[in-house]
């Protein structure tokens, strides 16, 4: 089976840009309702039905039950059909993977045309059969492999898909495993090429992937129909080079002229044979694609002119990526277009666990949140799925790098040739399909495979898997030489999970409950995972989506992530830091003041995110990047996500948005050396800013301060000792303890000298305890604007972790510290209504601060 790199242009346009005027495209209906002939693949996405039966109940379509059929969306899953019919409890679904499920579609000449055509099935989860008019035409045993079937359609026909129970395959022993991880159940899932989503107790609901989860298409009703479009880009000196290999379904006349266009550049294509066009196009002095934190993610439109017609093929970016191992050779950092990059981001889960894809609107929303939080990388882990073309096109458009694991995690995988052949097909198809995307930056063999073996005590000679060191490494080098490949995550050092060598998964601050100073002691070089906490959503999500704000309600605890077999969950991890950082007794606070407990739980996670990333971003840090575990929750509740299951940012997201700006000041506590200020400018332009340093007593009285003009060179970091700024001794960290503490808070502000706009702020509290509350003089004024609503928030004394609670709106800026006398304007955006027909009332809520004795109300 050859690779299937086609990216249907409509999918790319959906995520990237509207089609240009005059563009030839497919999927149009004629006046009589029949489908117009088209060169593009035609999606078979409507008219499907599905039914579920006991395993083995129907041998063939002749045995179908008469009733019980549901309308089904394709691409989609059985769970999606159940949800649309109002029959799915996503938290307690039936074991879909252990029943049989049938899909059917009536093919008519009006829908498909007639004659020889090609049926393309992009992904069938997982043990699948394809039948046409009662004759089985295909068996598939991997949800990650696409298939082609040649068809001769001369009249009406019935296309049927059967998804068989996994039980027989899981019961068959393929080979003896050297170790058995607790991550997934049952352990024989190692033998099956399916996602681990739905099979990881404690991580996500048991919602198993079954059905035609990727598109199903017909090709070939037009004589010049496209089969595969393989586009790639590379950089050569100052120029960009575009490569195209276009295959047709049917033989063509090799005299038809063809050219490839990109901007003003044009190049003629050559006919390799009657079904293949190929060639390269050089784009002089092509503008580079950058991660959005370091420049513009510039994309260039590529078009084909063939026989007098123009076909838009999508947009490409030109960029170079290389690995910087550091002076000692033990590091891991990326350089993009020759510029060092601090990669910051999160581990991706899914925009929608039910469909495994999400809608275009959900994906666009997720990438908007990633960009607005200052993230420049998302990692698609080995426990998830390969994402859609629309996902990678959005990453290109938004300037978000993608770290892509192949779909392997934790297991000792089979070594027989049949399994290896399936993996080669899976990997080759994925790499060809995503070859056009500039955002793909790192390819990784698998997640925690080597780590799992090492933790079971196996020496390196017994835990190596050629699947990762040879097979996938070789395919990555062959198909995507412009992308970095690593065998496993984590990797490097005597132990693959060593924090100061190579790539690690850092949970020192987090699951291992280490103190904050462990972040420096660990000397993290690159954290492909880090900082997992049970992050509490806002009140609106807790009440509307989860249905409770009671921490020990069974609904709450069911949604809190936990490691299989552990005697603790990630609520306990967060509570540890409530106790050690804030001096709070979590259990006592929970039952005496549950609302206060929730507020401090949100605050402490924001504090941890801020402190850890400030350390990793400081001048002199050896860290090349860190990806938070995880981006979005898979169910409503206090999950790992920095974004909740409804798409609303949590306090962790807001903290990252404040500490991950391209132009940034961060502060680090250096003990007896006082405070260090680290000034960061990741942009390509120099920045002139006013630096203000202020120390306050009682949250209002200025006891020390200094102001200076600073010049931040492009792509630079610099460290300033706060003592140098002040020019006199002041116990900034309260390390010398000569008498009572002289101040409560120190804050540094970078401002634009002309507009006085705040570019970045950083805060240091010599005492973090959160017991004391007083009148901060907090006020909130609601204003209507031309585009919606905004709040003007101000305080007379330092207000710590100001947060806005509104059941119908979300504050764009939230969970921030507010100095006295500095009004903050906060835009309010309406939350998606639970009822699609509902209208949004005017904002009405309260503004709180964790050190304020009472909230203030507005609306």
Q: Which of 139-153, 681-695, 729-743, 802-816 has the lowest mean pLDDT?
A: 729-743
Q: Are residues 625 and 671 in the same domain?
A: no
**With 90 as the cut, is the pLDDT of residue 564 above it?**
no
C-alpha 486/C-alpha 445 separation (Å) is: 6
Mean pLDDT of 405-424: 96
Banded model confidence at residue 549, pLDDT cuts 50, 70, 90: confident
C-alpha 766/C-alpha 774 separation (Å) is: 18
**With 80 as the cut, is the pLDDT of residue 4 above it?**
no
**How many domains is the chain partitioned into structurally?**
5
C-alpha 64/C-alpha 28 separation (Å) is: 33
Q: Are residues 389 and 474 in the same domain?
A: yes
Residue bearing the bigger pLDDT, 9 or 287: 287
Final residue before a domain boundary, out of 282, 316, 350: 316
**With 70 as the cut, is the pLDDT of residue 349 above it?**
yes
Enumerate residues 6+ apart whose C-beta is below 8 A from 841. Answer: 808
Q: How many Cβ atoms from other residues are within 10 Å of residue 542's Cβ?
A: 21
Mean pLDDT of 629-641: 96
Q: What is the pLDDT of residues 247-264, one digit of tens each?
A: 999 999 999 999 999 999
**With 90 as the cut, is the pLDDT of residue 813 above it?**
yes
Mean pLDDT of 348-368: 96
Question: Is residue 14 one of the residues assigned to a domain?
Answer: no
Q: Are residues 519 and 613 in the same domain?
A: yes
Question: Is residue 30 one of the residues assigned to a domain?
Answer: no
Q: Give the burial class of 46: count Cβ atoms within 10 A of its Cβ; 0-12 exposed, 13-18 middle, 19 or more buried.
A: exposed
- Which residues are registered as beta bridge partners of 29? 35
Q: Which of 20-34, 324-338, 441-455, 707-721 has the lowest mean pLDDT?
A: 20-34
Mean pLDDT of 413-428: 96
Mean pLDDT of 681-698: 97
Q: What is the pLDDT of residues 371-402, one digit of tens each?
A: 999 999 999 999 999 999 999 999 999 999 99
How much is the pLDDT for 20? 33
Q: Are residues 495 and 613 in the same domain?
A: yes
Enumerate residues 6+ apart whose C-beta is below 8 A from 477. Answer: 485
User: Can you tell me which residue has the tokens 């606070």?
Assistant: 589
* Percent of the chain whose pLDDT exceeds 90: 85
Q: Are residues 503 and 640 in the same domain?
A: yes
Final residue before a domain boundary, out of 659, 679, 709: 659
Question: Is residue 7 one of the residues assigned to a domain?
Answer: no
How much is the pLDDT for 770? 92
Q: Are residues 477 and 579 in the same domain?
A: yes
Banded model confidence at residue 32, pLDDT cuts 50, 70, 90: very low
How much is the pLDDT for 739? 84
Banded model confidence at residue 11, pLDDT cuts 50, 70, 90: very low
**With 80 as the cut, is the pLDDT of residue 29 above it?**
no
How much is the pLDDT for 524? 98
pTM of the model: 0.95
Cis peptide before 642 (omega within 30 of 0): no
How much is the pLDDT for 26? 37
Q: Are residues 360 and 455 in the same domain?
A: yes
Question: Is residue 567 one of the residues assigned to a domain?
Answer: yes
CATH code of 66's domain: 2.60.120.260
Question: Is residue 16 one of the residues assigned to a domain?
Answer: no
C-alpha 64/C-alpha 160 separation (Å) is: 11
How much is the pLDDT for 14? 44
CA separation, residue 416 to residues 174, 413, 444, 467 (Å):
9, 9, 22, 11
Backbone Cα Rg of the chain: 28
Q: Which domain holds residue 296?
A: 226-316
Helix (H, G, I), strand (E, B) or coil at 61: helix
Question: Using N-to-C axis directions, what is the helix angle for 417-433 and 472-479, rounded to 10°?
Answer: 30
Q: Are residues 117 and 243 in the same domain?
A: no
Question: Is residue 35 one of the residues assigned to a domain?
Answer: no
Banded model confidence at residue 837, pLDDT cuts 50, 70, 90: low
Mean pLDDT of 495-514: 95
Q: What is the pLDDT of residues 576-600, one digit of tens each?
A: 999 999 999 999 999 999 999 999 9
Banded model confidence at residue 565, pLDDT cuts 50, 70, 90: confident
**With 70 as the cut, is the pLDDT of residue 281 above it?**
yes
CATH code of 707's domain: 2.60.40.10
Question: Is residue 486 one of the residues assigned to a domain?
Answer: yes
Mean pLDDT of 79-89: 97
How much is the pLDDT for 17? 39
Q: Are residues 243 and 392 in the same domain?
A: no
Banded model confidence at residue 221, pLDDT cuts 50, 70, 90: confident
Banded model confidence at residue 154, pLDDT cuts 50, 70, 90: confident
Q: Which helix (H) or strand (E) holds 711?
A: strand 701-712
Q: Are residues 703 and 631 in the same domain?
A: no
- Do residues 714 and 683 make contact, with C-beta atoms less than 8 angstroms apart? yes
**With 50 as the cut, is the pLDDT of residue 21 above it?**
no
User: Can you tell me which residue has the tokens 């240009």?
Assistant: 20
Final residue before a domain boundary, out of 194, 219, 244: 219
Q: What is the pLDDT of residues 188-208, one digit of tens each?
A: 999 999 999 999 999 999 999
How much is the pLDDT for 566? 86
DSSP string, 285-342: TPPPB--TTTS-B--EEEEEEETTEEEEEEEE----EEEE--TTS---EEEETTEEE-
How much is the pLDDT for 36? 64
Banded model confidence at residue 609, pLDDT cuts 50, 70, 90: very high
Assigned token pair, 172: 């068959």
Query: Cα 383 to chain center, whole Å?
Result: 13
CA torsion sign, 387 to 388 to 389 to 392?
Answer: negative
Banded model confidence at residue 18, pLDDT cuts 50, 70, 90: very low
Q: Are residues 479 and 578 in the same domain?
A: yes
Angle at 3 between CA 259 and CA 229, to 5 degrees: 20
Mean pLDDT of 540-544: 91
CATH code of 540's domain: 3.20.20.80
**With 60 as the cut, is the pLDDT of residue 35 above it?**
no
Q: Are residues 674 and 712 in the same domain?
A: yes
Question: Is residue 592 one of the residues assigned to a domain?
Answer: yes
User: Can you tell me which residue has the tokens 């936990």?
Assistant: 562
How much is the pLDDT for 30? 40
How much is the pLDDT for 2? 52
Assigned token pair, 236: 């050569």
- Number of helices (H), then strands (E), belonging to the chain: the values are 19, 44
Banded model confidence at residue 493, pLDDT cuts 50, 70, 90: confident
**How is the chain split among helix, strand and coil, in percent rounded to 5?**
20, 30, 45
């Amino acid at each position: 089976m050859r690779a299937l790199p086609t990216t249907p242009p409509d999918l790319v346009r959906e995520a990237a840009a509207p089609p240009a005027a005059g563009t030839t495209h497919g999927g149009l209906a004629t006046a009589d309702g029949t489908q117009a002939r088209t060169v593009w693949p035609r999606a078979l996405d409507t008219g499907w039905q599905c039914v579920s039966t006991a395993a083995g109940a129907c041998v063939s379509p002749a045995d179908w039950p008469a009733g019980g059929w549901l309308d089904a969306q394709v691409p989609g899953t059985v769970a999606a059909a159940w949800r649309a019919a109002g029959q799915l409890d996503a938290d307690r679904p039936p074991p879909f993977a252990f029943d049989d499920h049938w899909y059917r579609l009536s093919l008519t000449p009006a829908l498909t045309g007639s004659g020889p055509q090609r049926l393309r099935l992009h992904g069938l989860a997982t043990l699948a059969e394809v039948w046409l008019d009662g004759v089985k035409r295909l068996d598939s045993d991997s949800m990650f492999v696409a298939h082609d079937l040649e068809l001769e359609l001369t009249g009406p026909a019935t296309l049927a898909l059967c998804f068989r129970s996994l039980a027989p395959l899981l019961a068959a022993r393929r080979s003896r495993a050297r170790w058995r991880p607790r991550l997934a159940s049952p352990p024989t899932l190692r033998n099956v090429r399916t996602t681990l989503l739905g099979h990881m107790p404690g991580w996500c609901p048991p919602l198993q992937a079954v059905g035609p989860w990727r598109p199903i298409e017909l090709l070939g009703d037009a004589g010049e129909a496209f089969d595969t479009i393989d586009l790639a880009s590379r950089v050569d000196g100052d120029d960009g080079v575009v490569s195209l290999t276009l295959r047709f379904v049917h033989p063509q006349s090799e005299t038809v002229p063809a050219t490839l266009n990109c901007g003003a550049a044009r190049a003629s294509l050559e006919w390799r044979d009657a079904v293949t066009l190929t060639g390269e196009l050089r784009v002089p002095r092509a503008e580079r694609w950058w991660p959005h934190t370091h420049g513009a993610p510039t994309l260039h439109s590529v078009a084909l002119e063939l026989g007098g017609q123009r076909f838009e093929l999508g947009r490409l970016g030109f960029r170079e990526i290389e690995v910087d191992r550091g002076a000692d050779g033990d590091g891991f950092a990326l350089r993009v277009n020759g510029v060092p990059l601090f990669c910051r981001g999160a581990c991706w889960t899914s925009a929608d666990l039910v469909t495994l894809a999400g809608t275009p609107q959900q994906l666009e929303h997720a990438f908007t949140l990633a960009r607005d939080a200052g993230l420049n990388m998302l990692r698609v882990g080995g426990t998830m799925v390969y994402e859609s073309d629309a996902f990678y096109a959005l990453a290109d458009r938004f300037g978000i790098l993608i770290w892509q694991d192949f779909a392997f995690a934790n297991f000792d995988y089979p070594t027989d040739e049949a399994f290896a052949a399936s993996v080669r097909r899976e990997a080759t198809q994925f790499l060809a399909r995503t070859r056009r995307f500039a955002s793909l930056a790192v390819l990784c063999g698998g997640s925690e495979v080597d780590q799992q073996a090492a933790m079971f005590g196996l020496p390196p000679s017994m835990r190596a898997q050629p699947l990762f060191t040879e097979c996938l490494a070789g395919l990555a080098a062959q198909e995507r030489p412009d992308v970095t490949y690593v065998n496993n995550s984590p990797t490097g050092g005597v132990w693959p999970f060593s924090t100061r060598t190579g790539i690690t998964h850092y949970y020192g601050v987090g699951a291992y409950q280490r103190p904050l100073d462990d972040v420096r002691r660990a000397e993290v070089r690159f954290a492909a995972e880090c900082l997992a906490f049970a992050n509490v959503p806002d009140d609106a999500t807790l009440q509307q989506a989860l249905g409770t704000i009671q921490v020990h309600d069974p609904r709450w605890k069911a949604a809190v992530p936990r490691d299989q077999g552990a005697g603790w969950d990630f609520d306990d991890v967060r509570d540890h830091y409530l106790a050690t950082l804030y001096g709070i007794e979590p259990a006592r606070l929970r039952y005496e003041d549950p609302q206060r407990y929730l507020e401090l739980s949100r605050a402490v996670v924001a504090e941890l995110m801020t402190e850890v990333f400030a350390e990793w971003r400081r001048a002199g840090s050896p860290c090349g990047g860190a990806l938070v575990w995880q981006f979005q929750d898979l169910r409503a509740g206090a999950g790992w996500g920095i974004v909740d299951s409804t798409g609303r940012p949590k306090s962790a997201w807001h903290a990252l948005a404040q500490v991950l700006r391209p132009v940034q000041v961060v502060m680090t506590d250096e003990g007896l050396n006082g405070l260090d200020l680290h000034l960061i400018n990741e942009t390509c332009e120099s920045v002139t800013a006013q630096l203000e340093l202020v120390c306050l007593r009682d949250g209002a009285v200025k006891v020390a301060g200094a102001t200076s003009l600073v010049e931040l060179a492009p792509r630079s970091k610099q460290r300033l000792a706060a003592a140098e700024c002040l020019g006199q001794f002041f116990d900034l960290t309260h390390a010398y303890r000569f008498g009572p503490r002289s101040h409560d808070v120190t804050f540094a502000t970078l401002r634009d000298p002309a507009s006085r706009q705040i570019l970045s702020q950083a805060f240091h509290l010599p005492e973090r305890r959160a017991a004391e509350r007083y009148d901060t003089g907090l006020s909130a004024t609601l204003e209507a604007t031309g585009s919606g609503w905004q709040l003007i928030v101000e305080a007379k004394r330092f207000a710590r972790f100001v947060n806005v609670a509104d059941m119908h709106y979300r504050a764009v800026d939230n969970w921030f510290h507010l100095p006295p006398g500095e009004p903050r304007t906060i835009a309010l955006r309406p939350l998606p209504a639970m009822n699609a027909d509902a209208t949004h009332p005017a904002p009405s809520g309260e503004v709180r601060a964790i050190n304020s004795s009472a909230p203030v109300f507005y609306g």
